[in-house]
Structures are given as C-alpha cells and as structure tokens.
Amino acid sequence: MDRMLVVVFDNESKAYEGKQALLALDNEGSISVYAYAVLAKGPDGKATLKQGDDAGPLGTLVGTSLGSLIGLLGGPAGVAVGAAAGMMGGATADLDNARIGGDFIDDVNAELLPNRVALVAEIEEDWATPVDTRMEAIGGTVFRRALSEVSDTANQEEADAMKADLAQLKTEHSKASADRKAKLQEKINQLDSKIQTWSQKDKDRTDAAERQAKAKLQVLKQKATGQRAKVS
C-alpha cells in the first residue's frame, strides 16, 4: 500500500539516522521508498528543507504528493529551501495534491515543534512493523497515512454543483430583461472562471499522478533487476 510517512525526531542527527534506516529497509526489500526529504523546524518555528539532502528515487519534489505535504508542514510561512530550491521547485501547499487529510497535517504539526526535525517520505509497505521498529529504536515518532484514504469525491461534487449553477444562470440570462442580463453575465463570468481554475487544478493533479506512477514503476523495475540504490 502506498503511504505518506512522517517520522519526527528530536534533532537532525537522529533524522539522518532515520533516513539511513529507511533506505536500508528499502535495500532489504521490506519496503519501497519512492521519495524522501528531511525537514527541520527552527527555534522560531520556520521550516527548512535541509541542504545536501535529495528527493529519493523520484528525483524531484515538483508536482508530487510529497512536495505538497512538505509545503503544508511548512505552515503559513512556507518552507525555506535555500540551495535545495532545485529539488523543491514549484511544490506548493496543496492539500488536494498531497492526497492526505488535514487532520494528518494537524497531528504531525502537533509533534513537529520548534527545534525538531522530520523525515518525510512516500513509501510502499505491506505492514507497519519494519518501519516502526527501526524508527522507534532511534527515538522517532511515526505518522503514516495511506494515500488511498483520500478521494476526489468532494471536489468533484463541488465542481458538479458549480456547473449546475452555471447552467441555471445561463438559462435565466436567456430569459432576463436587458437591465438584468448585465448582472447575470457578471455572475456567469465569475463562476465560469472558478470552473476553469478547478479544471486546470484537476488536470495538474492528474498529470502529476501519471508522472509519479511512471517514476514508481521505474523504481520497481530497477529493484526487480537487482539495481537498488545503495545506502550512502
């Protein structure tokens, strides 16, 4: 099952030890690691994506669920990426693209306090024990959420409702008096703009999901031929 994983540690050293343990589990075949990053909260609560780390097998966080999750964990002030900007790129705090619920963000942020560090990863695992055992031994607090638990149903229902409203406004517009038509047209334009924005976001999510699926398939093919990345 594909899951989003966040492990919170007391310091950066333990977080990197956790990353090594995660990659070791990947090399052993216990899990598949698709992407990862280390995120630190400073004394002022500002989140920083640590320099020198990489984004794991997916190679970039742009447009990925992990990139969006990192943006959300950065809070209202966002994430300082510094030299890691090329890895973060256009990742934004998009709850829809992250494919996890807001309650998950709240739970993690309640633990990810100032001066703490999080290992954030997108993985595939059949059972939780291997990861939990390794991370708890290092002192990490583990949070995970299956990506399949969040669907686009609510978003689609909202889009359908807007389209129904648009159709109704157009019907009224066709029958309205001249002075009323201008006001109705303004509402039609505003609603149509919202629908177009939603459609573009939906397309972006679909495109990102397709790119991730292809990247994940490549990772699995490499593992099948014994080309797992070695733990550095």
Higher-pLDDT residue of 9 and 219 is: 9
For residue 16, pLDDT beyond 90:
yes
User: 19 with 162: CB under 8 angstroms?
Assistant: no
Can you tell me the distance from the alpha carbon of 232 to that of 53, in angstroms, rounded to the nearest whole number? Answer: 11
Q: Is the four-CA dihedral 41, 44, 45, 50 of positive or negative sign?
A: negative
Helix segments in 112-177, DSSP class H: 129-138, 153-175
Q: What is the mean pLDDT of residues 96-113?
A: 83
pLDDT over 90 percentage in the chain: 31
Q: What is the mean pLDDT of the chain?
A: 79
Most confident among 115-119, 161-165, 188-192 (mean pLDDT): 115-119
For residue 25, pLDDT beyond 80:
yes
Q: What is the mean pLDDT of residues 49-77?
A: 66
The pair phi, psi for residue 161, each rounded to 5°, is -65, -40
pLDDT for the residue 85: 41
What is the three-class DSSP state of 5? Answer: strand
pLDDT for the residue 115: 95
Higher-pLDDT residue of 50 and 16 is: 16
- Grade residue 52 by pLDDT with cuts at 50, 70 and 90: very low
Q: What is the mean pLDDT of residues 124-148?
A: 90
For residue 17, pLDDT beyond 50:
yes
Number of neighbours of residue 171 by Cβ within 10 angstroms: 11
pLDDT for the residue 150: 45
Predicted structure pTM score: 0.68
Q: Say how many residues make up the chain.
A: 232
The pair phi, psi for residue 41, each rounded to 5°, is -100, 125
pLDDT for the residue 194: 86
Q: What is the mean pLDDT of residues 115-139?
A: 93
Tens digit of each residue's pLDDT (9 = 90 or more) over 167-217: 989 998 999 998 888 889 998 999 999 888 878 877 777 776 677 777 777
User: 112 with 40: CB under 8 angstroms?
Assistant: no
pLDDT for the residue 75: 67
Q: Which residue type occupies 198?
A: W
